[in-house]
Amino acid sequence: MTLFTLFSNPLAGVQLASELLTRAPEPSSFPECLPPEEAAKTLEVLTPSQRLGQITGSVGSPSTGASSGRLWGDRDFALRMVRVNPLAITRLAPELQTDPEIAGAAILQDFAVIEKLPTESRDAVWTAALDQLESEGTSFPRERIETYEAFQTFMEDSGLRFEDRFRSVRTVLEVAANRDSLASLGTNRPIALVIATTSDYNRAFESFPLVDALVASGRFDVVYREASTEQEAGEILEETYRTAGRPIHTLVLAGHGMQDSLDLGGPPPPASFSPPWSDQARVEIRDFEQGEFAGLGDFVEAQGQVLLWSCSNGAGGADADNLANAFSNALPGRSVISVGVPSNIVALDVGPDAGLDVTWASDDREYIAGNANNEKETP
């Protein structure tokens, strides 16, 4: 059973699923509600994906009152559902949407859920969520996030300028704390550094919450930074290494790409695929050829890994001139995970050894450079 797999019993403990971390559109109405016991029987015979659809909106109606005994008016069932998928709160009876425990459980997983609640109840619900965090023993600067608006400012001040790339309040707090305090964390966990583009014309890097997945795995001390040029990316690598006092185990570069390049700060295509952006805002094969990343091996663990979250960086596979192979040549012994076609990540699992198992929308086209077994080389 992996981190992002739904348990066979949907009403027992439910593990986090990658689908549940994705902010999907609001579910459409369903013509009829089911009592909880009938809903449970229905869900038991469905496949995980069918069951997920039922949980997130195909059963029940937001107009159903709590007193009716129907599925979405049942408080215990509602609480279980928002813990599985925070967006289920949009399908609850109105009086349950503002229940502090239910709303708090939803908001801690996906803070943007608060925007779907009545304006007049948001402050009370946000306070309930922070109270829940404190009751868990979580240490955080409460005075800086007393309201949702203050939390948004806190994200901006912490360098998390693209808030839709994140879901969980816990993730935001951990990543913000890690930004400048790696040396004092006192953990033995490997470092995962995510360097993400500042240019995302189609919001591709909001579709899957990769940072949340890394944090939720519990395997890493996760650092998230944004870069608009290759020089900034290099400075972030060196700064993270020096702040932590140890090399990075998992390096993730996120940006729109082609076979030979990954864009960090250029304008939308096609302009970003032509000079002068190519030499400033893109990591390219020629950067390696010109020695611009000659010291990369000093910053990445000998048994580390690189994930190129970008389209087509592995196109052509082992025999091609592609960016994945350029990274692999600069980092011998490390695995460099990429995809050979335009694609995006839809799921991520972290193994006991902190190895990444990435599922792409075009998963049969994954290419792992430097992988001794080349088990998934089908670019």
Kindly indicate the confidence band of residue 57, based on its pLDDT and cuts at 50, 70 and 90: very low
Whether 348 is covered by a domain: the verdict is: yes
Q: Are 335 and 260 within one domain?
A: yes
Among 119, 135, 151, the domain boundary falls at 135
Whole-model pTM: value is 0.79
The residue that leads in pLDDT, 245 or 60, is 245
Is the distance from CB of 331 to CB of 295 less than 8 angstroms?
Answer: no
The region of weakest confidence among 58-72, 184-198, 301-315 is 58-72
Give the domain extent around 59: 18-135
Kindly indicate the confidence band of residue 169, based on its pLDDT and cuts at 50, 70 and 90: very high
CA-CA distance, 33 to 42, in Å (whole number)? 12
Answer yes or no: is pLDDT of 131 > 60.
yes
- Mean pLDDT across 120-144: 89
CA-CA distance, 377 to 328, in Å (whole number)? 14
Whether 160 is covered by a domain: the verdict is: no
The residue that leads in pLDDT, 33 or 111, is 111
Cis amide leading into 94 (omega within 30)? no
**DSSP 8-state assignment for residue 238:** H
Answer yes or no: is pLDDT of 114 > 50.
yes
Among 115, 135, 155, the domain boundary falls at 135
What pLDDT does residue 36 have? 41
Answer yes or no: is pLDDT of 205 > 90.
yes
Whether 149 is covered by a domain: the verdict is: no
Whether 285 is covered by a domain: the verdict is: yes
What pLDDT does residue 22 have? 41
The region of weakest confidence among 18-22, 85-89, 236-240, 330-334 is 18-22
CA-CA distance, 140 to 132, in Å (whole number)? 12
The residue that leads in pLDDT, 48 or 180, is 180
Q: Are 242 and 354 within one domain?
A: yes
Whether 332 is covered by a domain: the verdict is: yes
The residue that leads in pLDDT, 119 or 39, is 119
Q: Are 261 and 365 within one domain?
A: yes
What pLDDT does residue 185 have? 67
Q: Are 113 and 206 within one domain?
A: no
Q: Are 309 and 197 within one domain?
A: yes
CATH code, domain carrying 260: 3.40.50
Q: Are 240 and 98 within one domain?
A: no
pLDDT in tens, 289-309: 888 888 899 999 999 999 999
- Mean pLDDT across 114-140: 88
Q: Are 121 and 204 within one domain?
A: no
Q: Are 216 and 362 within one domain?
A: yes
First-to-final CA distance of the chain: 28
Whether 200 is covered by a domain: the verdict is: yes
Whether 282 is covered by a domain: the verdict is: yes
Average pLDDT in the chain:
79
The residue that leads in pLDDT, 88 or 355, is 355
The region of weakest confidence among 8-12, 142-146, 284-288 is 8-12
Kindly indicate the confidence band of residue 248, based on its pLDDT and cuts at 50, 70 and 90: very high
Cis amide leading into 209 (omega within 30)? no
CA-CA distance, 5 to 333, in Å (whole number)? 30
- Mean pLDDT across 319-341: 96
**Residue percentage of the chain with pLDDT more than 70:** 74
Q: Are 214 and 125 within one domain?
A: no
Kindly indicate the confidence band of residue 92, based on its pLDDT and cuts at 50, 70 and 90: confident
What pLDDT does residue 237 have? 94
Q: Are 265 and 342 within one domain?
A: yes
- The domain tally of the chain equals 2
Is the distance from CB of 327 to CB of 189 less than 8 angstroms?
Answer: no
- Mean pLDDT across 135-163: 94
- What 3-state DSSP class applies to 141? coil
Among 92, 115, 135, the domain boundary falls at 135
Bridge partners, 251 (sequence order):
193, 306
Q: How far out from the chain centre does Cα 339 lie?
A: 18
Whether 330 is covered by a domain: the verdict is: yes
Q: If 0-12 CB within 10 Å is exposed, 13-18 middle and 19+ buried, where does residue 183 land? A: exposed
Q: Are 218 and 306 within one domain?
A: yes
What pLDDT does residue 357 have? 96
pLDDT in tens, 6-44: 222 333 223 333 333 344 333 332 223 333 444 444 434
CA-CA distance, 151 to 317, in Å (whole number)? 43
Q: Are 241 and 353 within one domain?
A: yes
Exposure class string for 184-210: b at 16+ Cβ within 10 A, else e: eeeeeebbbbbbbbbbbeeebbebbbb
Question: Who's near 179: CB < 8 A, 6+ residues apart?
Answer: 158, 159, 223, 224, 225
